[in-house]
Structure 1
Amino acid sequence: MEPQEATEEDILLAQRIISAASRHDLAALQILLKDGSANVQDPTTGTTPLHAAIAACTPNDAAETNVDEGKGKAKGSARTEEGAVKIVEELLQNGAIWNDLNKDNETPGCVAHRLGLMKLYQIMVEAGVRAELLFSKMDELDLDETDNEPAIIPKKNPPIQGLQESEQIMRDGEDDDVSLDNHAYLKSKLRFQPGILLDESHNAVMMDWETAIMTRHAETLLPSPGLRAMNVGHGMGIVDRAIQERKPKEHHIVEAHPQVLEKMRKEGWMDKPGVRVWEGRWQDVLPRMVEQGVLLDGIYYDTFAEDYKALREFFSEWVVQLLDPSGGVDEEGGLFGWYNGLGADRQICYDVYTKVAEMDLYEAGFDTKWEDIAVPESLHGSEAWKGTRRPYWALDVYRLPVNTFIK
């Protein structure tokens, strides 16, 4: 069914809704929303009522401006931020979309974060979490109307369903992107270059800036020698080399891409003492491991071209069977970690993902502890991503998860 063209009356109503939101006029907004929508957008700027309400908190004079020391970010006026809170809550209650993008490629939460309006930012994060949990539940009940749409997948752990819609405007015309489908990726030709692994669509599968992060993952999962480890997704071999340095008793590696496996053979991985390479997708390999009674002290997950639903299935269905609850150091229980690249091209998406993942992990029976690791400043800039399709990381801090069974 073709969308109806907006009438002059519709356009005027939309302008009045955005204006009321910008003025923080709650009474006027409530009246306008009786006949109008909280999801209108300015056709020129892409501004929604949420964008307008938050952006209006920009201080109008120097007396109202604060600067976050050490970060150089302007902080909006606390007085105007409080006024915006009621407007934002009203809009969200009326169905406003938390991650709509304006023409500057910013969500309302991005605007709040840029202006240092952290109370409003947290409200938008919470709105994102609620939306993603709702999408997840709808998907479980087969109620989602977008099931037939292609998944939108950036580099590592890709967007949850609700985030896909806000990113679609950036992804149109990318039917040739093999990172959108794991089966297509596994059939694609990879390019091993100094410091980077690329797929045939020029997506960075892995980069050497991740070395410090993966080394720390190995340290947290294998705090002492003689433990049993598994890594899913070998890639450039960064984390597996780090695991080897921890001197594990057993080292299982699950890898599915033929070129990566060929390179592993040339590098002697199949012949290393204590190493067993399982060839194939983890969805096919892990049931065999369970049948053979494999138990592990440390599990790490870092796949490519798979969505968040795959990660959730991994820990909900398989980590619970393979991780030894009596394993680890002093039989305190095994440890699980995963590459946390969820939504890392946008701060609010990263924060939403982090909260959703922690909640899903808790539901699966895991506690989560986070360790913040600074990302190299040199990563931020076009030169660092030269030759890649798009940057998969744009944040200052990596949040490293360590999961244990709830006791």
Structure 2
Amino acid sequence: MADQASEEEVLLAKRIISAAERHDVPALKVLLKEGSANVQDPTATAATSPLHAAILSCGEAKDGKEAGDDAVQTVELLLQNGAIWNDLNREDETPGCMALRLGQKKIYDMMVEAGVRAELLFNKMQALGLGGDDVEEVEVDEEPEEQPAAKKQKVSEDEAQAVQGAVEEQVLDDVSLDNKAYLRSQLRYKPGILLDESDNAVMMDWETEIMQRHAQTLIPRAGLKVMNVGHGMGIVDTAIQTHDPAEHHIIEGHPQVHQRLREQGWYDKPNVIIHEGRWQDILPKLVEQGVVLDAIYYDTFAEDYAALKEFFSEYVIQLLASDGKFGWYNGLGADRQVCYDVYTKVSEIDLHEAGFDTQWEDIKVPSGLHGSKQWEGTRRPYWTIDVYRLPVNTFVK
């Protein structure tokens, strides 16, 4: 009976995928009453989900002609029945990646909106302490420099639990998965790059133009009080100094970075105040002291989006002057265009809820960055897309 049931499940999966591929909405509605929108055909050489099949069969958009209404309705139906927006096929493509590659803009936009809805719900569940079987996957920050809220890696729920267990034992194969593990790890400064103990690029010099532009957008004139969280290679702090701030606060948690700050004379600069430690410990004290700042920039490493959200919704709103500006290194999900677009929208929604207006400026990253030799010796590239979206946030008037 077990073999027969297994055969029935395989047959149902094949029928669901076939209906999705044909954009047969009536048949799909019936089949989804019996099976899942996330089935895969285990007998296929290129197993894929119904959502991937529906998008792939749209083909490449040519001469501005995109998918028809039947395809759009098929994708909508699958999403309504729980299809996972960032599920991966064997080619390591999400449905959104596939739609983007095929030039199917309408379908791609649908995937971005589905991702935004899913991530907002997931983040809300996390905030409420919910999860478990209700959550298909969790996000863990992977990158450098803060990885800020910037570089992220998807892991399954089981993997996340394993990571947490490893953290508790103070043993991690990848220290970027936990901020405290990162702060205990050994860093390596090399020409043009800062690496952590697990070979993650914490910061790279290709980001210099971006950091300089952040400083320009946040500090319109001399004599302002400025704070940067996360020194790393010192790129943005060097840029901040060119704008002659009256006060320049730097929060940095890593002991080796403290040593580099001493070696480079940052502690001796008359307008610079170094705060050694994690921002989670330092900012409450600054709030108690009544510190008010004209500009705040955030670029930490080994912290996820939840940390960024806590930063602006709990502390920036208390520390920033009414006419001040707040920015952060926007590298969330920058290893996939669809993930980057999703988290750009998620952050804008959450910022607005916290009382901020957000303006975006598009900056092209250096050509050939993806796949270049710059990433040799690193664990993984944290940036693979063509445009950086620079955020400037001010309080809603």
What is the TM-score of this pair, normalised by structure 2? Answer: 0.91
Equivalent in the alignment of 2:17: 18
1:229 to 2:217 alignment: no
Equivalent in the alignment of 1:28: 27
8 Å CA contact 1:151–1:180 kept in 2: the answer is: no
Deviates more, 1:231-240 or 1:21-30: 21-30
- Judged with a 3 Å threshold, the aligned counterparts in structure 2 of structure 1 residues 233 and 5 are, in CA distance, closer, same or farther, namely farther
* Match runs of 1:95-244 below 5 Å: 95-145=82-132, 152-155=140-143, 156-157=147-148, 163-165=154-156, 175-244=172-241
1:316 to 2:313 alignment: yes
What is the deviation of 1:45? 2.0
Equivalent in the alignment of 2:336: 346
1:271 to 2:268 alignment: yes
Q: Work out the CA distance in 1 between the residues paired with 2:183 and 2:363.
A: 31
Which structure's relative contact order is higher, taking Cα pairs within 8 Å and 6+ residues apart? 2
1:364 to 2:354 alignment: yes
What is the deviation of 1:136? 1.4
- Judged with a 3 Å threshold, the aligned counterparts in structure 2 of structure 1 residues 158 and 6 are, in CA distance, closer, same or farther, namely farther
What is the deviation of 1:165? 3.8
What is the deviation of 1:299? 0.2
What is the deviation of 1:36? 1.0
Q: 1:265-293, CA deviations, whole angstroms, 9 ceiling, x for partnerless residues?
A: 01110110110000000000111111111
- Judged with a 3 Å threshold, the aligned counterparts in structure 2 of structure 1 residues 96 and 244 are, in CA distance, closer, same or farther, namely same
What is the deviation of 1:162? 11
The SS at the match of 2:141 is coil
The SS at the match of 2:357 is strand
The SS at the match of 1:152 is strand
What is the deviation of 1:42? 3.0
What is the TM-score of this pair, normalised by structure 1? Answer: 0.89
- Judged with a 3 Å threshold, the aligned counterparts in structure 2 of structure 1 residues 126 and 143 are, in CA distance, closer, same or farther, namely same
Question: Identity of aligned pairs, percent?
Answer: 65
| AA of the residue aligned to 1:321 | Q
Q: 1:357-387, CA deviations, whole angstroms, 9 ceiling, x for partnerless residues?
A: 0000011110100000000013122412001
Q: 1:7-61, CA deviations, whole angstroms, 9 ceiling, x for partnerless residues?
A: 00000100110010001111111111111110102333231111011110115xx
Correspondence for 2:254 among 252, 257, 265: 257
- Judged with a 3 Å threshold, the aligned counterparts in structure 2 of structure 1 residues 220 and 6 are, in CA distance, closer, same or farther, namely farther
* Match runs of 1:366-381 below 5 Å: 366-381=356-371
Q: Work out the CA distance in 1 between the residues paired with 2:270 and 2:223.
A: 13
8 Å CA contact 2:151–2:334 kept in 1: the answer is: no
Gaps of 5+ in 1: 67-74, 326-332
1:7 to 2:6 alignment: yes
| Displacement over 6 Å in runs of 4+ | 159-162, 166-169, 171-174
Q: Work out the CA distance in 2 between the residues paired with 1:403 and 1:334.
A: 9
8 Å CA contact 1:366–1:405 kept in 2: the answer is: yes
Equivalent in the alignment of 2:284: 287
What is the deviation of 1:83? 2.3
Q: Work out the CA distance in 2 between the residues paired with 1:96 and 1:289.
A: 45
- Judged with a 3 Å threshold, the aligned counterparts in structure 2 of structure 1 residues 160 and 196 are, in CA distance, closer, same or farther, namely closer
Q: Work out the CA distance in 2 between the residues paired with 1:28 and 1:150.
A: 33
Gaps of 5+ in 2: none
- Judged with a 3 Å threshold, the aligned counterparts in structure 2 of structure 1 residues 6 and 96 are, in CA distance, closer, same or farther, namely farther
Q: Work out the CA distance in 2 between the residues paired with 1:15 and 1:384.
A: 43
Q: 1:48-100, CA deviations, whole angstroms, 9 ceiling, x for partnerless residues?
A: 111011110115xxxx733xxxxxxxx6x42x343210000001111111111
Q: Work out the CA distance in 1 between the residues paired with 2:365 and 2:153.
A: 27
8 Å CA contact 1:157–1:343 kept in 2: the answer is: no
Q: Work out the CA distance in 2 between the residues paired with 1:344 and 1:18.
A: 30
Q: Work out the CA distance in 2 between the residues paired with 1:167 and 1:55.
A: 30
Deviates more, 1:92-101 or 1:134-143: 134-143
The SS at the match of 2:93 is coil
1:65 to 2:66 alignment: no
8 Å CA contact 1:160–1:308 kept in 2: the answer is: no
- Judged with a 3 Å threshold, the aligned counterparts in structure 2 of structure 1 residues 162 and 261 are, in CA distance, closer, same or farther, namely closer
The SS at the match of 1:47 is coil
Equivalent in the alignment of 2:51: 50
Correspondence for 2:78 among 91, 94, 97: 91
Equivalent in the alignment of 1:385: 375
| AA of the residue aligned to 1:108 | P
| AA of the residue aligned to 1:53 | A
Q: 1:189-237, CA deviations, whole angstroms, 9 ceiling, x for partnerless residues?
A: 0000000000010000000000000000000000111111000000000
Q: 1:134-161, CA deviations, whole angstroms, 9 ceiling, x for partnerless residues?
A: 11121122221179x9863220145899
Q: 1:171-194, CA deviations, whole angstroms, 9 ceiling, x for partnerless residues?
A: 999941000000010000000000
The SS at the match of 1:276 is strand
Q: Work out the CA distance in 2 between the residues paired with 1:132 and 1:162.
A: 14
8 Å CA contact 2:139–2:154 kept in 1: the answer is: no
